[in-house]
Amino acid sequence: MTQPPAWLDPAIAYVESWLGHQMRLTEQPGCMIAIAWRGQVVFDAAFGRANLATGEALTPRHRFRVASHSKTFTAAAVLKLREQGRLRLDDPVGQYVTGLHPEIGAATIAQALSHTAGVFRDGLDSAYWVGRAPFSDAAQIRADLALAPTIEPNTRLKYSNHGFALAGLVIEAVTGEPYADWVRREIVAPAGLGETTPDVPLPEGARLAQGHGGKALLGRRQVFPGDASTHALASATGFVSTAADLVRFFGQLSPTAETSVLSRASRREMVRPQWRDAYSAVERTYGLGVIGGAFGGWSWFGHSGGFQGYISRTAVVAAQDLAVSVLTNAADGLAHAWLDGALSILQRFAAEGAPNPAAADWTGRWWSVWGASDLVAMGDKVLLAAPDQADPLLKVPELALTGADEARIAEAGAFHSYGEPVRRVRDAAGQVVELRVAGGRALPEADLARELTERYGG
């Protein structure tokens, strides 16, 4: 196999350092992240706790409810049936599922997979999303789908969990098998996903990370069990997985992937933007079971998920052969922001390259009363990164090295110390013990903590 680019390892090292700091700063319960390059998992890590009540440490092998990532699996299953000649994307869903409202029955399979069938999002009563009721069974889903659509089909992008429940019913009608059984055998297993199931219960020995509520309401986080079956909504939101399995699967959906459960033609059709979300605060599109967007010039596709106490997101940057997944186990989890932060780090390293020998040892986290700063070397420059920020490399000062331990601020905003010197101070043993930035002085964490305690008390 071709070796990963030289910049990838140092980029991953900083992603890990930054995300560990973010966990500490935000006091989130837990976070799992995985990165794959050309289908191979090159980073798989977990931070924090699987269960705050018991103190159980989170590991990369814990399973998460990944919610609407399920839609991508369902779309892949439909495309597999299309490859087998068992259905067509422009078939009306009513050809396979009876009892639907006539307008819903006339919608096509492609419209269901692209959220343009006009179907309501969650039915007339979505109490199951907040633990007040069980998830709907097939009879309830069918009763809901006998009602009129909320808007005319094929008029705009309108997200619908019931639309993907309908796609699950189509799969069952075509295959004559329960959705979970067919998808597990024909999609999950061939994709090599050993930690993924279409719904609970989990296999014997598998551990589920518990979900958690936010702190604002009660001043503390409640623990949610996360073990509710999603029944007939499994095709929309039932999947349980790990970050590593998600990057394996989503990476296979790239049209450039060398191996996949789907043909290149099917993958191109899945990830092709079908509709644009004209009202979104950021540019978003939807294909067939996949969200699309752009980040700093990198186009991506993937999906996100929200389950009671879990927030997750996965993105594939096909042009870079990268897949990234971030899973969090809290209702206020920062999966979206942290995935963007990871992409920012990867993107900057891809542009600048691995650090050259002169810059490579300009590293470390340095503290002042204003917080932490990171020295991050890449190419022939060193960045003064801001690990407290969701995007730690956004418009941060750039240092140009002028000596082994000396540099100047070669680029910075007007309110920073542009043009001023930076110096590393060493002790008698040659260890760097202090960082001078312009007129300021930054120290290792323990040293600053000791200084502040002595000055202001514990």
pLDDT higher than threshold 80 for residue 458: no
Instruction: Report the pLDDT averaged over residues 199-214.
Output: 97
Instruction: Report the pLDDT averaged over residues 320-336.
Output: 98
What are the pLDDT digits (tens) for 14-56?
A: 999 999 999 999 999 999 999 999 999 999 999 999 999 999 9
Single-letter code of the amino acid located at 151: I
Backbone angles phi, psi at 279, to 5 degrees: -105, 5
Q: In this structure, which long-range contacts are made by residues 139-147, counting pairs with CB atoms below 8 Å and at least 24 apart in sequence? A: 140/232, 141/165, 141/166, 141/169, 141/232, 141/233, 142/97, 142/99, 142/100, 142/169, 144/120, 145/97, 145/99, 145/100, 145/101, 145/104, 145/119, 146/99, 146/100, 146/101, 147/101, 147/120
Share of the chain above pLDDT 70, in %: 100
Instruction: Report the pLDDT averaged over residues 319-345.
Output: 98
Task: State the residue for tokens 């809901």.
Answer: 144
Task: State the residue for tokens 């601020």.
Answer: 409
What's the pLDDT band for 283 if we cut at 50, 70, 90? confident
- For 378-412, b where at least 16 C-beta lie within 10 A, e where not — what string? bbebbbbbbbbbbbbbeebbbbebeeebebbbbeb
Question: What distance in Å separates the CA atoms of residue 188 and residue 194, rounded to the nearest whole number?
Answer: 8
Lookup: tokens for 181: 């059984």
Instruction: Report the pLDDT averaged over residues 429-447.
Output: 96
Instruction: Report the pLDDT averaged over residues 360-367.
Output: 96
CA 299, 302, 307, 309 torsion-angle sign: negative
What's the pLDDT band for 119 if we cut at 50, 70, 90? very high
Q: Is the CATH code 3.40.710.10 the one for domain 1-353?
A: yes
* Contacting residues for 70 by C-beta, under 8 A, at least 6 apart: 164, 198, 234, 235, 236, 237, 238, 239, 305
Identify the pLDDT of residue 86.
98
Running DSSP on this structure, what letter comes out for residue 20?
A: H
pLDDT higher than threshold 80 for residue 420: yes
Identify the pLDDT of residue 279.
87
Whether the CB-CB separation of 36 and 321 falls below 8 Å is answered with no
Q: Name the H helices within 91-222.
A: 102-106, 109-113, 138-145, 161-175, 179-183
Backbone angles phi, psi at 118, to 5 degrees: 80, 5
Question: What distance in Å separates the CA atoms of residue 138 and residue 233, rounded to the nearest whole number?
Answer: 8
Identify the pLDDT of residue 281.
84
DSSP 74-87: HHHHHHHHHHTTS-
pLDDT higher than threshold 90 for residue 226: yes
Instruction: Report the pLDDT averaged over residues 294-318.
Output: 97
Q: Domain boundaries in the chain?
A: 1-353, 364-456
Question: What distance in Å separates the CA atoms of residue 163 and residue 374, rounded to the nearest whole number?
Answer: 46
What are the pLDDT digits (tens) for 134-176?
A: 999 999 999 999 999 999 999 999 999 999 999 999 999 999 9
Q: Is the peptide bond before 102 cis (omega within 30 degrees of 0)?
A: no
Identify the pLDDT of residue 212.
98
Average pLDDT, the chain: 96
More confident call, 426 vs 282 = 426
Question: What distance in Å separates the CA atoms of residue 255 and residue 193, rounded to the nearest whole number?
Answer: 19
* Contacting residues for 78 by C-beta, under 8 A, at least 6 apart: 87, 89, 109, 113, 167, 170, 171, 288
pLDDT higher than threshold 80 for residue 187: yes
* Contacting residues for 423 by C-beta, under 8 A, at least 6 apart: 405, 406, 407, 435, 436
pLDDT higher than threshold 70 for residue 1: no
What are the pLDDT digits (tens) for 72-111?
A: 999 999 999 999 999 999 999 999 999 999 999 999 999 9
